[in-house]
Amino acid sequence: MKLDNNLDPQDWDELADYLANFTAEEVRELASSLKSEVWKQVPDSIKQSLFSESLPLIETDLDSVVDQYRSGIRPYRNGNTHPRFFGWVQGTGTVPALMADIAVSTMNSNCGGRDHGAIYIERLVVNWCKQIFSFPQQAGGVLTSGTSASTHLALQVAIFSKLGLDYKKSGFFGVNKPLRCYTSVEGHSSIIKAIQTNGIGSDNLIVIGTNDNNQILLDDLELQIKNDLLQGFIPFMVITTAGTVNTGAFDNFNEIRKLCDAYDCWMHIDGAFGAWLKLADSPYSSLTDGIQLADSLAFDFHKLMYVQYECGGLICRDGAFQQQVFSIRPNYLATHGKALAGGDPWFCDFGLELSRSFRALKVWFTFKTYGLQKLGFAVTKNCRLTALLADLINHSDNFELMNLPVSTIVTFKLKNESDINRNNEVCEQIVTKLQLSGEAVFSLTRVRGFRVIRAAIVNHRTEDKDIKFIVGRLNQLAEEFLNI
Ligand SMILES: Cc1ncc(COP(=O)(O)O)c(C=O)c1O
């Protein structure tokens, strides 16, 4: 394939055929990869050769770049496209979003602002999310790279909501009382990151314990807020979770709203994957009751909506205030007229990024092609498969459950093993062996002091047979390692 000195092809028709073949080969390879190993380690020789590759000062033929990608990069994918990938919380990717990604790349729109088609699709997607999560008309929102980014933005809006917008100018140095934010022990690490990097300090993120269902303890939360007020702190925000990363638990949003109202705190919900249970069948959907009461909600399309990386979102109950927090428009960005420079409001005024990709198209393609009903079925199926895995684990001779599988996460350890070191060692060996053999990817976490095996099923390709197969292998490996 020849590219001109002006960087474009000499013949666009030739490129069209070339790309059609390239895409077809990618799709065939994806299909065959679903039947082979989940994950394959990058060989040392490839790591070394990639690391030592010199700066490409002169051109290389596109065909040979493609060959290098196919032989040295593509075989070593992360594995989350595979039906037996249950590690961390990683979505699989959809066919409509794959097509959208090609379209996004060809359009190459900058969605920071201005008046062009992509902006209207992002507005539409934000409006759809407001409807899905029953937020009011005046709510605002923006698509982000993921829930970590969304939580970071939400925290910034919450700080200015408490202190006032004047602090945008003066900075926080004049605030003589520390602000305090609250979350539970189940809160995601992105909350700590947001607290630390927004200058609140993790000493002022108060971590509250949880009940047997891994939900934040409301009495402890209230007591802590009262004590903090007495000691002169400024309680300003409670960060709760719809689907905690460790155990898939949902906090009690209705009760937390009452507490936030009573103590004038911003209520944020981290709904990275769990928010989408709103689309699932009963009883799963009822876990999201009260989600609409949040001041802000963060969620990911790249988890339980299965959309390709990266794509998350944030909606804030008061969209105008969100805009006031982030809006800054120097002369060269001033809106004017009815031409391209018009089109207010601009998305750059609802978050940190000025240059923004057209993330909304893959959501639009995915939502429209399947419809929310079908996507809801997929979410329900993931919850049901998690329950199946939990049931098989519960009935096995080798493992015991460490959490109630309320949504799409289940954790388990060796049955009746009270020796923490022995449990941890064997669980780690099992997870490592399954990853290295390419049979399945689980991850590990810690529950009640034990290192436990954790499955997050946010994978629309997983079927009952995958769950049954892998429980068989887990049992075989437990017996193997326990008898060594
Ligand atoms: C509950 C929860 N919150 C936040 C995150 C961070 O999301 P992201 O990776 O999209 O930034 C995750 C990631 O798994 C999560 O499960």
Give the list of residues 6+ apart from residue 333 with CB closer than 8 angstroms, or none: 113, 346, 348, 354
| Contact predicate 190/154, CB 8 Å | no
* List of the chain residues with pLDDT < 70: none
- What's the CA-to-centroid distance between 339 and ligand 1, angstroms? 39
pLDDT value for 338: 86
Q: What distance in angstroms lies between residue 442's CA and the mean position of ligand 1's atoms?
A: 17
- For the question of whether the overall pTM of this predicted structure is more than 0.85, the answer is yes
**How far is 30 from 82, CA to CA, in rounded Å?**
9
Would you say 316 and 296 are in contact if contact means Cβ atoms under 8 Å apart? yes
C-alpha 396 – ligand 1 centre gap (Å): 30
Distance (angstroms) between ligand 1 centre and the Cα of 197 equals: 17
- CB under 8 Å to 368, separation ≥6 — which residues? 96
Specify whether the CB–CB gap between 403 and 248 falls below 8 A.
yes
The predicted-structure confidence for 460-473, as pLDDT tens digits, reads as follows 999 999 999 999 99
DSSP label at residue 235: E
Atom of ligand 1 nearest to the CA of 310: 10
The pLDDT value given to residue 124: 98
For atom 14 of ligand 1, the residue with the nearest CA is 89
Could you give the CA distance from residue 298 to residue 301 in angstroms, rounded to a whole number? 10
Question: What's the pLDDT tens digit per position in 275-299?
Answer: 999 999 999 999 999 999 999 999 9
Beta carbons of 349 and 114 less than 8 angstroms apart: no
Ligand 1 centre distance from Cα of residue 285 (Å): 20
Write the residue with the smallest CA distance to atom 16 of ligand 1: 245
Residue 142's DSSP bridge partners are 314
Distance from the Cα of residue 21 to its chain's centroid? 32
- The whole-angstrom separation of Cα 351 and Cα 91 is 24
Q: Which atom of ligand 1 is nearest to the CA of 302?
A: 10
Ordered domains of the chain (ranges, CATH): 100-367 (3.40.640.10)
Q: How far is the CA of 272 from the centre of ligand 1 (A)?
A: 5
- Ligand 1, from 297, 300, 301: best to mutate by most atoms within 8 Å of Cβ? 300
* Amino acid identity, position 244: T
The binding-site residues of ligand 1, defined as CB within 6 angstroms of any ligand atom, are: 88-89, 146-148, 188, 190, 241, 243-245, 270, 272-273, 300, 312
- Residue owning the nearest CA to atom 7 of ligand 1: 147
Nearest protein CA to atom 10 of ligand 1, as residue: 146
Place of tokens 């909506």: 305
